[in-house]
A = this chain, B = another copy of it.
Amino acid sequence: MSIGPDGTADVDFSRCPVRDVLDHLGDKWTSLIVLMLAEGPQRFSALQRAVPDISKRMLTQSLRSLERDGMLSRHVYPTKPPSVEYRLTDLGRRFHAELQRLVAWAEANHAEIRAARLRHDGLGPDAALDLAEAV
């Protein structure tokens, strides 16, 4: 995602290293999963319980996506019934560190963002004043 001398941005997403990372961050679930796995290896069903609103379909899809990018590894224990454990790889843990930075930044700037929103949205009745002060 560089910017050329002619002022036009490099928008070749197919080979854009930044997209690979940003897509995970923008995804509704992958960040949550990484956060959960940062606390230790988890089984499929444990993850599903930990993230209540996710469907099996999306959980599987998100896990595959993270596995594909080398963020986590999948271990199958051929017991019966079988159990599958997911754990962060080294790359995944480094990604998690970045994610934590982002979370911290977001929380630190949350009030300012919300205040800007209320200002922009046309100043909801009186709640606007409350939050304007909070900044």
Q: Which residues of A pack against B, CB within 8 Å?
A: 1, 3, 7-9, 11, 13, 17-18, 20-23, 25-28, 31-32, 35-36, 39, 46, 49-53, 67-70, 91, 94-95, 98, 101-103, 105-107, 109-110, 112-117, 119-121
17 A-B pairs with CB atoms under 8 Å apart are A1-B31, A3-B35, A3-B36, A3-B50, A9-B50, A9-B51, A11-B32, A11-B52, A18-B31, A18-B103, A18-B107, A20-B114, A21-B102, A22-B25, A22-B102, A68-B116, A70-B120
Q: Which residues of B contact A107 (CB under 8 A)?
A: 17-18
The distance in angstroms between the C-alpha atoms of A22 and B106, with both chains bound, is 9
Number of copies: 2
B9 touches A120 (CB 8 A): no
The distance in angstroms between the C-alpha atoms of A36 and B120, with both chains bound, is 23
B69 touches A20 (CB 8 A): no
Chain A contact residues: helix, strand, loop or mixed? helix
Cross-chain contact of A102 among B28, B39, B69, B98 (Cβ < 8 A): B98
